[in-house]
């Protein structure tokens, strides 16, 4: 197994993707970590961990800026039965993703439930029934998302990408540890 201190940003990306897929916000074909080699059609969701800073010295915990980039394309055929369907699908994907990332437990005061579910989904990658997935994610067995914090949303800057007409970016902060916390 890889060192538990490798790429906390990569671990966060994979755990968040696994969580979004488990919440039916997309599939493994179109919910991807930013460093994925897969090509995805639109609409798609890309999880990108930006800057990671140590939360407290010598703990191994990091505060990571997370960008959830949702991209879509407009219908190109004005004679389609519903020319607005692509926009409806894009808006629905944004809503499902935001709802999944804003789940609170019974107290409703924080997003600790979402953090816990991201941890569970990330850890499950290491024990996947698919041997290749499990081997590629063996380092996820001890990932822990300690906190999940909403940080905003806005338009993306990649709408000039080929085929991408719309991009919405959801911003969060994740405090994470590369090793299990009990």
The three-state secondary structure class of 132 is: helix
Distance from CA of residue 158 to its chain's centroid? 18
pLDDT attached to residue 158: 58
Q: Which spans in the chain are helix H?
A: 8-22, 85-101, 112-125, 131-136
Is the CB of residue 143 less than 8 Å from the CB of residue 118? no
For the whole prediction, is pTM greater than 0.75?
A: yes
Tokens (6 digits) for 116: 């816990």
Is the CB of residue 170 less than 8 Å from the CB of residue 70? yes
Residue 76 has pLDDT above 80, yes or no: no
pLDDT band at 2 (very low <50, low <70, confident <90, very high): very low
* Structural domains of the chain in order of their starting residue, each with its CATH number: 8-177 (3.30.70.1700)
pLDDT attached to residue 73: 83
């Amino acid at each position: 197994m890889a060192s538990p201190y490798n790429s906390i940003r990569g671990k966060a990306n994979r755990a968040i993707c696994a969580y979004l897929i488990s919440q039916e916000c997309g599939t493994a074909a179109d919910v991807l970590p930013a460093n994925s080699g897969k090509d995805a059609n639109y609409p798609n969701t890309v999880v990108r961990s930006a800057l990671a800073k140590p939360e407290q010295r010598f703990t191994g915990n990091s505060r990571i800026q997370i960008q959830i980039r949702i991209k879509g394309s407009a219908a190109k055929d004005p004679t389609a039965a519903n020319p607005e369907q692509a926009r409806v699908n894009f808006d629905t994907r944004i809503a499902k993703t935001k709802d999944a990332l804003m789940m609170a437990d019974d107290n409703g005061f924080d997003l600790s439930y979402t953090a816990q579910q991201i941890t569970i989904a990330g850890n499950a990658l290491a024990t996947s029934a698919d041997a290749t997935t499990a081997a590629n994610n063996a380092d996820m067995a001890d990932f822990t998302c300690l906190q999940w914090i909403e940080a905003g949303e806005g338009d993306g800057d990649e709408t000039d990408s080929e085929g991408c007409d719309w991009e919405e970016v959801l911003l969060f902060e994740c405090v994470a540890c590369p090793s299990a916390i009990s």
